[in-house]
Amino acid sequence: MSALPQALEQDYWVADIKLAEWGRKEIALAEVEMPGLMALREEYGQKQPLKDARIVGCLHMTIQTAVLIETLQALGAQVRWSSCNIFSTQDHAAAGVAARGTPVFAKKGMSEEEFWWAIDQTITGPDGWTPNMILDDGADLTVRLHEKFPEIMKNIKGISEETTTGVLRLYELAKKGALLAPAINVNDSVTKSKFDNKYGCRESCVDAIRRATDVMMAGKVAMVCGFGDVGKGSAESLRHAGCRVMVSEVDPICALQAAMEGFEVVTMEDAAPKADIFVTATGNKDIITADHMRAMKNNAIVCNIGHFDNEIQVESLRNMKWTNIKPQVDQIEFPDGKKILLLAEGRLVNLGCATGHPSFVMSASFTNQTLAQIELWKNAEKYENKVYVLPKHLDEKVAALHLEKVGAKLSKLSTEQADYIGVEKTGPFKKDEYRY
């Protein structure tokens, strides 16, 4: 167990502050690929809509997150930050923002104990600093504040939540009447779930497996557990790389979608002895069990791209022989001599073994986050302690801010056309019930 720092000489905790120059160079590159966030800086910079907001954030401390942090600051907010995953921090990104005065507490490969310690460092700061807004990914920070810091929660005006798993936890709190502030479910904005979850995974799933293993993907059999947005993107990623892809599902609608896309829909029991690569993408637990892994081929690759670390029964492997090949790549030998490769210890493979989603798709997600923070900060009195989604016109705005970058040109409705389908000429263009 790592010894926790007893007293910090500075108000940050990163692997190496000397990495800041490298971090700044990559942050500058990312800004070019994040037109949504840069447009918000231009639109709202003078107005300072987040003035006096004190945001505590817990989200993967990557280069793209650095651009989000500095956007929030450009709009007037004070920010303290930690990472929501022990393997996802990009140390040069953390150094890049820390060197400019942002209190960030994150290191790639930190221990579980350090993870919670780092979160706690963000909840309070010098001169009595405490947050009045929460920006979260997975709801660890939100739950921590609810359970350990209820007095601070009294001053929280709003919560914005990034991911599927965190949203589920928020809905659970709301159902019990235990949610202590209004929350916006950013994950279910169309420009988050259909872009970050699907198109992001379509690029970063195979990227991570290749960086970790250098394995030839073409000709391999791959198994994707779950065909939600993350599973859809991951299955496409593997198919584009030349894999023959199988999918498992509990939801008959998603299973039928997978079949209609040309994927073979099977169970894990069917796939365990057949596939070469396994990717979990369900957001649920115990998806790949110890029995499944015992049935796998020698040198099968096992990884997770769903949010938490319990989709694969990693703890059941701890008594096996582990050989660390390189950071976040472990070879595990079973008593019969058969081996498997486990990536990122069952945590998010695309952030543990690669650099996560591309900047452009994260611009859509983080533009939603910024709009959610502005909405809750400016209009908290309109909301009860429930979970909300951003209105459709803001979802459309996020998409519109990214069109020029990809060379897309919008058509315009005539008055007659708008009247014919019952919408305003300037949108929203779809009813709330519409499924993209």
Which residues participate in catalysis according to the annotation? 60, 83, 88, 137, 162, 187, 192, 196-197, 201, 307, 357, 365, 369
| Parallel/antiparallel/unpaired status of strands 329-333 and 321-326 | antiparallel
How far is the CA of 121 from the CAs of 83, 136, 149, 268, 420, in angstroms? 12, 15, 13, 41, 56
Task: Decide: helix, strand or coil at residue 299.
Answer: coil
Name every residue whose Cβ is closer than 8 Å to that of residue 52 and which is 6 or more positions away in sequence.
Answer: 76, 132
What DSSP state is assigned to residue 297? P
- Name the H helices within 75-111: 91-98
Instruction: Decide if 314 contacts 320 (C-beta within 8 A).
Output: no
Distance CA 52, CA 45 (A): 14
Q: Could you tell me the end-to-end alpha-carbon distance of the chain, in angstroms, rounded to an integer? A: 46
User: In the sheet where 104-105 sits, what is the strand order?
Assistant: 104-105, 78-82, 54-58, 133-136, 158-161, 183-185, 387-388
How far is the CA of 15 from the CAs of 66, 212, 402, in angstroms? 16, 22, 34
What DSSP state is assigned to residue 219? T
Amino acid identity at 429 = F
Instruction: Decide if 363 contacts 33 (C-beta within 8 A).
Output: yes
**DSSP strands (E only) in 35-182:** 54-58, 78-82, 104-105, 133-136, 158-161
Amino acid identity at 74 = A
